[in-house]
Structure 1
Amino acid sequence: MNKERDTSAASSAVAKAAGGRGYHHGDLRNGLLEAARAILEEETLEALTLRAVARKAGVSHAAPYRHFPNHEALLVELSIEGFDELREAIAEAAKAQGSETDKIAGIGAAYMRFVAARPALARLMFGGQLPNRDQFPALGLKADSIGTEIGAALSDDALGLAVWAAVHGLAMLVLENVIDLGQRRSGLHVLPTRSEIILRSLFSTRRD
């Protein structure tokens, strides 16, 4: 009986040392990334520190360092996760039947839905908050996969690059509030529909 109590006490101590929620090894990493994304979208990039992530996740201040040696490593992982989600959204949109223009419009709408739902993450993925991108080859490969996915969906790499440039440029102009597609009054949720209209206008002269 004493041995069982000792084992139980030791397990509790380990859970407390890990931060109080008793995360399993893999769960801790996912929990930290989830907390980081929440801070990024609900607050600001400046508020996204490893200490803030630990506090949000309910773990000790030392816990994040088990998976992310520094702040930049955390931002890189968030970006990689974002690129994977965006690529999957594009691949799903590309499954829809229709003409080439329909497919371009659908891909553009999927891209804009991602940006509208995760504006701060989109800025992080493509912006200047990661000045040392060349030190993280995986990040570059993930970014390249977006253009590759669009090109494959349209069976034309050059067209894929043109579509990516168009929809991404539009997204960034909106996020920086340079142009108004209705988001100033109605919010970012209007972007998918508005972007479809613009992309159809841009690419409808191609023969479907």
Structure 2
Amino acid sequence: MEESPLRERLIDVGVELVKTEGTGALGLREIARRAGVSHGAPRRYFPTHQALLSAIARRGFAEMGARFARAGAGAAAPRERVRALASAYVGYALEHRAMFELMFRHDLLASPVEGGAGGPRLRESTLPLFGLLVELVAWCDAAEPELTAAALWANLHGVAQLWAWGSLPLVLGSDAGDLVDRLVGAALDAHLGPEAP
């Protein structure tokens, strides 16, 4: 299916808005205004506000996937690649807080991103990223790669959320950036075992 330039412009405007002003700025009228179209124009491509938000969030998953690809490219050993991906995940969550929150909103994850009710759901955008993590965890000789990868993902998501909310800096008594790296390392050790010397 060929993408409409206006449809893409609406998504681009939404992405820019969420990154600069947060999710509260993502009204249909504001997106239309900034795209230079009538307030009814988005409805031609997005039947609901939720459909437009899902398309914006899907762009976030694409950005995260590109970050994963860059992060893992320089690492040779499987564990190094897992660490690079883990750091990229938490880093993206902390650098693009509003987009990350939009990407994991439950109501959006359950909504279709294309083709109406029977189309793929936003949640399915996580499958390639999770598949890569499972593959790398398997190369690290984990006994149950899918389960281990899921537990690691949950741990990393928790680190990102609790750090952004200020809970981890509070309990650990620091807001130093290297502490985030140490938390990522601790998560890997907890799920993959300590790194061999």
Tell me how large the CA RMSD over aligned residues is: 2.8
Residue of structure 1 in register with 2:152 after alignment: 163
Distance 1:180 1:133, change over 3 A: farther
Matched, 1:27 2:5: yes
Equivalences for residues 180-199 of structure 1 within 5 A: 180=169, 190=177, 193-199=178-184
Task: Determine the C-alpha separation between the residues in 1 that align with 2:155 and 2:168.
Answer: 14
Shift of 1:89: 1.9
Greater radius of gyration (CA): 1
Q: TM-score if structure 2 supplies the norm length?
A: 0.75
Shift of 1:152: 2.0
Deviations along 1:24-64, one digit per CA (max 9) or x if unpaired, are x7321221111112222322423311110011112222221
What is the letter of the counterpart of residue 8 of structure 2? N
Structure 2 unaligned segments of length 5 or more: list them.
139-144
Aligned length, in residue pairs: 178
Residue of structure 2 in register with 1:15 after alignment: none
Residue of structure 1 in register with 2:124 after alignment: 141
Residue of structure 2 in register with 1:80 after alignment: 58
Q: TM-score if structure 1 supplies the norm length?
A: 0.71
Identity of aligned residues (%): 26
Shift of 1:93: 2.0
Instruction: Give the conservation status (yes or no) of the 8 Å contact 1:91–1:149.
Output: no
Deviations along 1:75-97, one digit per CA (max 9) or x if unpaired, are 11112221222123223322333
Residue of structure 1 in register with 2:142 after alignment: none
Q: Which residue of 15, 24, 28 corresponds with 1:37?
A: 15
Residue of structure 2 in register with 1:200 after alignment: 185
Shift of 1:98: 4.0
**Relative contact order (alpha carbons < 8 A, sep ≥ 6): 1 or 2 greater?**
1
Task: Determine the C-alpha separation between the residues in 2 that align with 1:168 and 1:35.
Answer: 27
Equivalences for residues 127-138 of structure 1 within 5 A: 127-128=105-106, 130=108, 132-133=110-111, 137-138=120-121
Task: Determine the C-alpha separation between the residues in 1 that align with 2:108 and 2:187.
Answer: 32
Instruction: Give the conservation status (yes or no) of the 8 Å contact 2:13–2:31.
Output: yes
Task: Determine the C-alpha separation between the residues in 1 that align with 2:49 and 2:77.
Answer: 45
Instruction: Give the conservation status (yes or no) of the 8 Å contact 1:105–1:199.
Output: yes
Residue of structure 1 in register with 2:135 after alignment: 152
Shift of 1:129: 5.3
